[in-house]
Structure 1
Amino acid sequence: MKQELRVAAYAVCVRDGELLLARWVADDGTRRWTLPGGGMDHGEEPVRTMAREVEEETGYLVEPTALLGVDSIRRSWLRRFGGPGDFQGLRIIYEAQVAGGALRNETGGSTDLAAWHPLDTVAALPRVELVDIGLDLWRERPPVGRSRLTDPSNG
């Protein structure tokens, strides 16, 4: 079985009651909102990953204000040629504040739109689960950095 591990870092940026999101374009063309962020390059510090990815996807320069938590997902899939695969994603989630730059959309990347959304409208958006996990960590600030949404003991 092919195993794959991806480490990524994301930002929860809340300003004036609004959340900064990037619209992710899946391989099949589906578009859903996500937290700005993405995959860590080998040797890169997670905080630097988060800041680099936010700038790439939104145009903003950000500074981390807190480590909110770490989320882990696991998915199995059938690989096109070669049998089953097992994917694990380790997602490091920071709170961050805008320190500069200007809002703009990413070109040539995995997202196509960046926008601020009022917190009370986020639940109605087409979004990935990471948005809910990030907001839960931001609101609850669990001492061990684990969202109640992904904690199996809350089943």
Structure 2
Amino acid sequence: MRRRLRVAAYAVCVRDGRLLLARSANDDGVPEWVLPGGGMEHGEDPYDTVRREVAEETGYRIEVTGLLGVHSHRLERPRRLRRPVDHHGVRIVYEGRVTGGELRPETGGSTDLAAWHDLGAVPDLRRIALVDIALRLWRERPAGGRG
């Protein structure tokens, strides 16, 4: 089995009771909401990753206002016509504040729409689990930062 490690950085941006999310298609092509963010490039600091990814996916510039925590997950993924993959994801979750830019969809990337959602409506959205994990980190601010 092939092993794969992916380190990524994401932002929780809440303004006026609304959460900034981006929309991406899952492996089956079904749209779901995700936190703006994504994978680190080799040699990139995660702080720079989250600011770059938010700008790419939403059009906004952000100030990182805090580190909320780190979430680690591992799963085995079957691969069509290839060996299965043992995937280990390390997700660094920051709090961010929009400081400029204009909301717009990403062009030529992994997301196709960015939007603000009322915090109370988030449970009704089709979303990835990281959205709930990150919101829990944002609300509870655990001392150990583990999500």
TM-score bracket for this pair, using the shorter chain length: over 0.9
Other-structure match for 1:150: none
Match of 1:88 in 2: 88
Residue 27 of structure 1: CA displacement?
A: 3.8
Unaligned segments of structure 2, at least 5 residues: none
Which moved further from structure 2: 105-114 or 73-82? 73-82
Partner of 2:48: 48
Superimposed CA distance per residue, residues 34-82 of structure 1 (whole angstroms, 9 cap, x where no aligned partner): 1000000000000100000000000000010000000011110223334
* Residue in 1 that maps onto 2:71: 71
Moved over 2 A (4+): 78-84
* Separation in structure 1 between the aligned mates of residue 57 and residue 27 of structure 2, nearest angstrom: 17
Written as runs of structure 1 = structure 2, the 5 A alignment for 1:104-119 is 104-119=104-119
Gaps of 5+ in 1: 148-155
Structure 1 Cα separation of the partners of residues 55 and 70 of structure 2: 21
Deviation track 1:96-140 (CA, whole Å, cap 9, x = no partner) reads 000100100111111111000010000000000010001000000
Does the 8 Å CA contact 1:26/1:110 hold for their aligned counterparts? no
Identical amino acids, percent of aligned pairs: 63
* TM-score scaled by length of structure 2: 0.97
Aligned residues: 147
- 1:84 CA drift (Å): 2.6
1:133 aligns with: 133
Give the distance between the partners of 1:84 and 1:67, measured in 2 at CA: 33
